[in-house]
Amino acid sequence: MKENYIDNPAALKIDLMLRGLRIDDPLVRAWACGMDGVDIMLPRNTLVNIPCREEFTKGSPYVLRKKGGGYAITDGRGEVAAELVKRPAFYDRKTSTGVPFSRIATVHGSLTSIAPSSRCDFFNASVECKYCAGNLDVKGADKTIYSVEEVVETVEAVLEEGVGGLIYLSTGFSEGTDGGIVFLKPYLHAIKRKFRCLVAVETLPPRENRWIDETYALGADSVLYNLEIFDKELYEIICPGRAASIGRKRCMDALAYAARIFPNGTVASHLIVGLEPPGSTMQGIDYLTGIGAVPILPIYRPRPGKALRIDPLTTEIILPVYKHLYRAVTEKKISLTWVRDLSMVTTPAEIRALVDDAGTRPSIVESFYKSRLGRKTAWGLSSLRRKLRVKASEGGEEGE
Ligand code: SF4
């Protein structure tokens, strides 16, 4: 290993996501390492989800060790304190219909991810995205659809425990022009009616803009239409279903339209690092920030039979991409309030530490929004703004 990232939490987060973590103690391994990896808090409140099961993690220089009453991560040359994030207690409880909450919701930092159905029709047509992590059911065999009541009970359990208060509702592809918002509508409506919480919605980009208006009117606080890959040719090869059914251009147009409807910083799109050359990801960052969308950069995790990662891919190679991201969002004055404290991806806010060390302290505005009062205010402002906008649009439906 040429570089040493152990003393820089933001860079270490990227290196850990890229190379994984070895957990030698079988008991700790069984307890901490889930299918999605292990959530660990590094210094400076840097939360990271680290792969620990995949084959490639066996070659990682990083090892989790017991230290005193806690844990540390070592790379053989130095070490850093590592706090294993406690499994939420509600995971051990069930809905009134007997479904374990842990099947419906997954907490990642400040975000709780809920997919009411594990279906994606791209699998049925064998045109699924080639990187798909398979957290949705790849064979289409699982026809389970959690009811609105089951999802509402789950959100209640999440909020009661005070973890992952930003609810992230997602769905896979289904035929139709709406991208999936019609399926999510009753869930979104029920959650917004019952709780004062923030809800982000991830669907495929709808083919018509009216569905974006509808998503906003329904009360979504944030929307994600994931472009995933900026390079046109690679997009078509890696995402055959998306390319044929929706198309890269429509995804970009939908994002641009959404960025005009939703408040600054609440329209986001993934660009997966490692599936295209870094220069191409940087072009994608420029495009997205240019239209007012927040690029979120997850790192591709190769799985057996899905080793699509570009080679070589090292932290030295991809750090400039993240730095570029931070400069771009700063230059375009895109708010980062909504994209923070996420363990699965490195957010623009974390990259500040790499670009400007003085910026590692949160600004007054960020500190405010992180507070309980700030959250309420964020909710109130977005709710008011929506009401004004929805009322102004003829025939618009009030979501609350
Ligand atoms: S749209 Fe692509 S990434 Fe999303 S679930 Fe379907 S196949 Fe997987």
Q: Is the pLDDT of residue 380 over 70?
A: no
CA–centroid distance, residue 25 to ligand 1 (Å): 34
- 129 pocket-lining for ligand 1 (C-beta < 6 Å): yes
Distance (Å, rounded) from C-alpha 309 to C-alpha 230? 15
Query: Relative to the CA of 228, which ligand 1 atom is closest?
Result: 3
Q: Whose CA is nearest to atom 7 of ligand 1?
A: 128
Residue 331: the pLDDT is 94
Residue 8: the pLDDT is 87
Is there a contact between 334 and 289 (Cβ–Cβ < 8 Å)? yes
CA–centroid distance, residue 293 to ligand 1 (Å): 21
CA–centroid distance, residue 135 to ligand 1 (Å): 9
Residue 78: the pLDDT is 94
Read off the pLDDT of each residue in 271-288 and give the average, rounded to a whole number.
94
CA–centroid distance, residue 131 to ligand 1 (Å): 8
CA–centroid distance, residue 134 to ligand 1 (Å): 8
What is the chain's mean pLDDT, rounded?
83
- Out of 117, 173, 271, mutate this one to test ligand 1's pocket (max ligand atoms within 8 Å of CB): namely 173
Residue 29: the pLDDT is 82
CA–centroid distance, residue 72 to ligand 1 (Å): 35
Residue 76: the pLDDT is 93
- 136 pocket-lining for ligand 1 (C-beta < 6 Å): yes
Residue 349: the pLDDT is 61
Residue 345: the pLDDT is 65
- Out of 122, 138, 225, mutate this one to test ligand 1's pocket (max ligand atoms within 8 Å of CB): namely 122
What's the CA angle centered on 115, arms 112 and 121, to 5 degrees?
A: 150
* Token duo for residue 358: 């003085």
**Residue 22 per-residue DSSP state:** E
Write the single-letter amino acid at 229: I
Query: Which residue, among 294, 295, 296, 299, has the nearest Cα to 273 in the 3D structure?
Result: 299
Q: Whose CA is nearest to atom 4 of ligand 1?
A: 172
- Out of 118, 136, 137, 236, mutate this one to test ligand 1's pocket (max ligand atoms within 8 Å of CB): namely 136
* Token duo for residue 51: 């792969």
Query: Which residue, among 67, 259, 213, 89, has the nearest Cα to 158 in the 3D structure?
Result: 89
Distance (Å, rounded) from C-alpha 65 to C-alpha 297? 29
Strand 22-23, strand 63-67: pairing: parallel
Q: Is the pLDDT of residue 27 over 50?
A: yes
Distance (Å, rounded) from C-alpha 19 to C-alpha 237? 26
- Out of 132, 201, 239, 275, mutate this one to test ligand 1's pocket (max ligand atoms within 8 Å of CB): namely 132
Give the global pTM. Answer: 0.85
CATH class of 89-384: alpha beta
HEC sequence for 101-136? HHHHEEEECCEEEECCECCCHHHHCCCCCCCCCCCC
- 132 pocket-lining for ligand 1 (C-beta < 6 Å): yes
Distance (Å, rounded) from C-alpha 247 to C-alpha 179? 12
> Minimum mean pLDDT among 76-85, 199-208, 372-381: which range?
372-381
pLDDT in tens, 165-208: 889 999 988 888 999 999 999 999 999 999 999 999 999 999 99
Q: Whose CA is nearest to atom 3 of ligand 1?
A: 132
- 122 pocket-lining for ligand 1 (C-beta < 6 Å): yes
pLDDT in tens, 313-352: 899 998 889 888 888 988 999 887 766 555 566 666 677 6
CA–centroid distance, residue 288 to ligand 1 (Å): 21
Q: What percent of the chain has pLDDT over 90?
A: 53
pLDDT in tens, 102-158: 999 998 878 899 999 988 888 878 898 888 865 444 444 567 899 999 999 999 999
Domain boundaries, the chain: 9-84, 89-384
